[in-house]
């Protein structure tokens, strides 16, 4: 299967096998660990990788999977819509991550 044929779930599963087991959500201007409830600011996050997806049945159904590491070394993923369905506050959060913290 090529990179473009994989869907979000396939990549999340592959990264979980590599130890990226934390999940995050965007809340109140921070990225929040779903389990520990710890909030992170843009400077607390390292983007290890990102994968963009286009919907098979609807090309305007766009999403991006961020593979992340926090300042404490926790590793996980964050999936968000982009394009017309984007959460603009979450998109701005990722734009504010310092360039030195982006390995993509």
Q: What is the pLDDT of residues 57-80, one digit of tens each?
A: 555 568 899 999 999 999 999 999
The percentage of residues in the chain with a pLDDT greater than 90, rounded to a whole number, is 67
Domain residue ranges of the chain, discontinuous segments joined by +: 3-101
Mean pLDDT of 37-57: 89
Q: What are phi and psi of 80, to 5 degrees?
A: -140, 155
Query: pLDDT tier at 54 (50, 70, 90 boundaries)?
Result: confident
For 29: left if phi > 0, alpha if psi spans -120 to 50, otherwise beta; the answer is left
Q: What is the rounded (10 degree) CA torsion for 7, 8, 14, 15? A: 150
Give SS3 for 98. coil
| Long-range Cβ contact pairs of 35-39 (< 8 A, separation 24 or more) | 38/70
Q: What is the reported pTM?
A: 0.84
Give the pLDDT confidence score for residue 93 in this predicted structure.
96
């Amino acid at each position: 299967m090529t990179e473009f044929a994989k869907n979000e779930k396939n990549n999340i599963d592959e990264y979980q096998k590599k130890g990226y087991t934390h999940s995050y959500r965007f809340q109140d201007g921070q990225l929040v660990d779903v389990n520990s409830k710890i909030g992170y600011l843009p400077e607390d996050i390292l983007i290890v990788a990102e994968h963009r997806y286009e919907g098979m049945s609807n090309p305007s159904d766009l999403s991006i999977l961020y593979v992340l590491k926090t300042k404490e070394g926790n590793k996980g993923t964050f999936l968000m819509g982009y394009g017309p369905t984007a959460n603009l506050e979450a998109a701005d959060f990722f734009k504010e991550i310092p360039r030195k913290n982006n390995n993509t």
